Structure 1
Amino acid sequence: MLVREVMTAPVVTVPRTWTATQAVRLLCEKDITAAPVVDESGRMIGIVSEMDLLRGELEADPRAYLHFAAASDARPALEVEEVMTPNVKTVREDTDVLELVELLVTMGMKSVPVVRGDELVGIVSRRDLMRMLAAGGDDADQ
C-alpha cells in the first residue's frame, strides 16, 4: 500500500505568524495532533505538534518553588514559528506505507507531511494508519 492511499488531503496548515494560542485552538477544533507550518508563499517551513505547543504555552508556576520569584509582566504571545519543529521529515506519495511506519516508530513521530517535490500535498498521522487497519476487517473473517 502506498502513502497516497492513506494520507489526509487537503492538509490543515498553520501560518508561521499565528500565535501559539491560535494554533492550539485550530488543532483542537480540527481534532488533529499536528499541522505543517507555512510561510507567506505557502511553503512548508516546519511542523507544530501538540507537544511543541504545550512546551511553548505552559510555564513553571512560581508557587511550586521554595524561593519566591518576583512576578514579571505578562510575556508577549509566542508565535508558532518560535515553538515549531523546523527540520521536518517528509515522505512522497509513492512511499510504501511500511517505510512510513518505520519512520514513525524510529523517529517517535505522530504525523508526517507528504510532499510532491516542494509542494505539500497531504499528511499521514498514526490515526490515519489506525483507520486503515480498522477498515481492513478482522483477520478471522478471511
Structure 2
Amino acid sequence: MPKHPEHKLQPEDFVNALREMNTYIDVMVDDLVELNARAEKYARLRAAEGHSIADVMTHPVITVRADSSLAEVAHLFVIQRISGAPVVDGEERLIGIVTDADFLRVLGVPGHHPTHNLWHTLEALFVHNLEFPKPENRIADLMVTNVVTVSAEQSIHDAIDAMKKHRINRIIVCDDKRRVTGILTHTDLMRIFFDRVRGNTFKQSGK
C-alpha cells in the first residue's frame, strides 16, 4: 500500500472551517479550539482525496450468478467468510448484489433494520417460527438490483460519502461497462485508518 501523505493544515482548511462555523469575527479561545478541530477534519479529507479507490479496494472480487441457488451461495459465504457478493451476468456485468441481510430478510428477520442489533437478530432466529426458503430457490429472487457503485478512479472520500448517504457497509467498484473491478467495505476503510495510526506511531517513536 502506498505511503499516506501527511495532512498538514493549510489556509484553505481554516477557511472551510470558518465557513462551516458561519463566523469570521469575535473568535474566542473556545472558538479557536473548535476551529482547529474543524480545520484538521478538512485536512484529513484533503489527504483522503490523494488516494483513489483503486489503491485500497479488494480485488479480484468473489461474484455469483443470478441463477445460482440459495444453498450454493450460502455455502460460498461460509467457505469464503464473506457477508455479501455482487451478482453478475455472463459478461461479468453487475446486475445486483446479495448479502447475508437479504437471506435474513426472506426469513422475516430484520437483520439490517437501524433499530435492531445483533441480539435482536439472534432472538428472531431462535424464538420465532421461521419459514425457510427452499434451498433450490435462485439468487435472482433474492438479490437487490438497485446497486450503489463507484469507479476505481474516484477518491476514498467519494466512497465514504456514498456509503454514508445510502447507509451501506460495502460499495461495488465498476468500470464504464458495469463490469465489477473491485469492492470496498467498511473493513477496508478501518484498515486505512489503523495503517495511518500505526504510521504516525512509528514516526513519533523514530522507528
Please tell me the TM-score bracket, short chain as reference. 0.7 to 0.9
Runs of 4+ in 1 over 6 A off after TM superposition: none
Match of 2:136 among 49, 66, 77: 77
Q: Structure 1 residues 64 and 109, CA, compared in 2 at 3 Å: closer, same or farther?
A: closer
Structure 1 residues not aligned, in runs of 5+: 66-71
C-alpha distance in 1 between matches for 2:147 and 2:128 = 35
SS at match of 1:137: helix
User: SS at 2:197's partner residue?
Assistant: coil
What is the match of residue 136 of structure 1? Answer: 196
Match of 1:116 in 2: 175
**In structure 1, what is the equivalent of residue 87 of structure 2?**
37
Of 17, 22, 30, which residue of structure 1 is paired with 2:72? 22
Question: CA 1:76 to 1:27, structure 2 compared with 1: closer, same or farther past 3 Å?
Answer: closer
How far the C-alpha of 1:64 sits from its partner, in A, is 5.3
Equivalent position amino acid for 1:87 in 2: N
Percent identity over the alignment is 28
Q: Deviations over 1:90-123 (max 9, x none)?
A: 0001111011111111211111111111121111
**CA–CA separation in structure 1 for the residues paired with 2:138 and 2:90:** 14
CA RMSD of aligned residues (A): 2.5
Q: What amino acid is the match of 1:18? A: S
Which of the two has greater strand per residue?
1
Q: Indicate whether 1:4 and 2:51 are aligned.
A: no
Q: Secondary structure at the match of 1:123?
A: strand
CA distance 1:49–1:64, change in 2 (3 Å): closer
Q: How does the TM-score come out when normalised to structure 2? A: 0.57
Aligned to 1:101: 160
If asked which structure has higher relative contact order (CA below 8 Å, sep 6+), I would say 1
Aligned length: 133
Separation (CA, whole Å) in 2 of partners of 1:43 and 1:51: 22
Q: Please give the alpha-carbon distance, in whole angstroms, between the structure 1 residues aligned to 2:99 and 2:128.
A: 27
Q: Which runs of 5+ in 2 are unaligned?
A: 1-50, 110-124
Deviations 1:40-83 (A, max 9, x none): 23221001111012223x2589x958xxxxxx9x8463211111
Q: How far apart, CA to CA, are the structure 2 residues paired with 1:76 and 1:21?
A: 5
* Matching of residue 92 in structure 1 with residue 151 in structure 2: yes
Is residue 71–residue 135 contact of structure 2 (8 Å, CA) maintained in 1? Answer: no
Aligned amino acid, residue 2 of structure 1:
S
Counterpart-to-counterpart distance in 2, 1:135 and 1:18: 37
